[in-house]
Amino acid sequence: MSENYDLIVIGGGPGGLTAARTAAALKKRVLIIEKTGWGGTCTHRGCIPTKAMLSCSRFYADLKKLRRIGVNVSGATIDFAAMKKHRDQMVRIAALGAQKMLTGPQVESKTGLGEILSPREVRCIGEDGVQQFLKTEKILIAWGSAPQILPGLRTSERIRTSDELLHLEQLPPSMIIVGGSFIGVEYATLFAELGVRVTLVELLDRILPREDEEAANLLGQELARLGVVLHTSTRLVRLEESGDGVELSARKNGEDLAIRASYALLCTGRMPVLHKDQLDVLGVDYTNAGIRVDENMMTSIGGVYAAGDVTGGMMLAHRASLQARVAVASMFGGEIRQYDEDIIPSVVYSHPQIARVGLTERRALDEGLEISVIRSDYSANLMARAELMGRGFVKMIFHREVIAGAVVAGDHAAELLAPLALAVSGKWTRRQFQSWVLPHPTLGEVFTPLVD
């Protein structure tokens, strides 16, 4: 069989896998090349391992609540090795699931390094070093992302990025987290619930600066309740390994701040992986923020597309998958999809969770929109109270009677956001919501103000 393909995908993360499967469903001959692990960062270093560990820490932290409802648990301990075993099992299952997405006669996969030589030619260097030169009609770049490290900082045994932290052999007694993004607050939640003394340092005046301010403040209060020491409006001056720990120097409110801990975790964002030599040879337009694409995910060179973290913006698995579907529809036809960043939901898997879709209240006001806000608290919901869910709320932003955004802060926020994400993408009106019948008793009745 000749080595000519309709599509070659480089990168086996969510975007690349979705593109390969979608094109194969259109009866196209597809090859996907992955260098390290099927499923990409999400499966091996991001979504799956962190959420598996957060489930462990949540179960442990919730034991403290049970006495209130008549369940006495004493002597509970943390088996960090068992938690890691659970995490690794989830990663294996997710990686196998990623490979299963490729089953079918129209998809071929290769493990190795894919290098773009021209808009119609790719070189694949296999694990054994053997090179193959492959022809293709279309190319999709899905190189993914990597941790961003601030100038002047460097990693070491005790100063790690989120990619490297997963290799910890045992729980440290203390940790400094640099950066209050979603990665930083998720790790702060995880380690604080497991009894680690956590200090979080953020340059801006609050954690989660892109999220709803009220939700971010609620999470900050909950982190403080867990014992996390939050330092916002704090500028990092120096961070280095020292003996059996790390030392951080910073400036806060004009004063010097010195913090020592066992380890430091750098959560200062992620950056697209850009093989600039290949992009320059192709003539693809890009910046350090990512490869520039049009509304169909095509780069500045015809026939060459990009999807996922490599395009910058919101670095989320489901965003990458949507971009991939849009790209394949542009390449080969099929179901026409529109890409709109404002309908991409995002979730912070802290405890409590924060989930959002569309505009925040602040962004809507900054854009000069006239809005109305409908808000509902968990405290008024019987199931939230019965299951000791704690504080939380739902907020829905309407512009001219059409829902423009929503945020949920509280337990099960990610699940509650799903119908609101559908509503935002479908531009539902207040009148449409009034036909929504909510089962009783459920946490979903927190949406009651929408239907009244």
Active site (catalytic) residues: 440
- Torsion 49-421-208-58 (CA) sign: negative
Cis peptide before 352 (omega within 30 of 0): yes
For residue 93, which amino acid is it? I
Residue 181's nearest CA partner among 267, 250, 95 is 267
Query: For residue 237, what are its two tokens?
Result: 């001056």
User: In this structure, are strands 270-272 and 145-147 parallel, antiparallel, or unpaired?
Assistant: antiparallel
For residue 113, which amino acid is it? L
242: phi then psi, degrees, rounded to nearest 5: -145, 110
404: phi then psi, degrees, rounded to nearest 5: -115, -15
Please report how the helices 80-100 and 47-66 are oriented relative to each other, as an axis angle in degrees rounded to 10: 140
Distance in angstroms (rounded) separating the CA atoms of residues 391 and 384: 9
- Torsion 93-94-98-101 (CA) sign: positive
Distance in angstroms (rounded) separating the CA atoms of residues 450 and 277: 53
Q: In the block, which residue shows the tokens 């290098």?
A: 115
161: phi then psi, degrees, rounded to nearest 5: -90, 175
User: In this structure, are strands 393-399 and 371-377 parallel, antiparallel, or unpaired?
Assistant: antiparallel
Classify burial at 166, counting beta carbons within 10 Å of its beta carbon; exposed 0-12, middle 13-18, buried 19 or more: middle
Distance in angstroms (rounded) separating the CA atoms of residues 298 and 258: 48
Q: What is the DSSP string of 248-282?
A: EEEEETTEEEEEEESEEEE-S-EEE---HHHHHHH
Q: What is the DSSP string of 331-365?
A: HH-SS-----GGG--EEE-SSSEEEEEE--HHHHH
CA distances from 438 to 191, 377, 443, 451 (A): 36, 16, 10, 9
Q: In the block, which residue shows the tokens 């390994």?
A: 241
Q: What is the dihedral of CA 266, 267, 269, 275, to 10 degrees?
A: 40
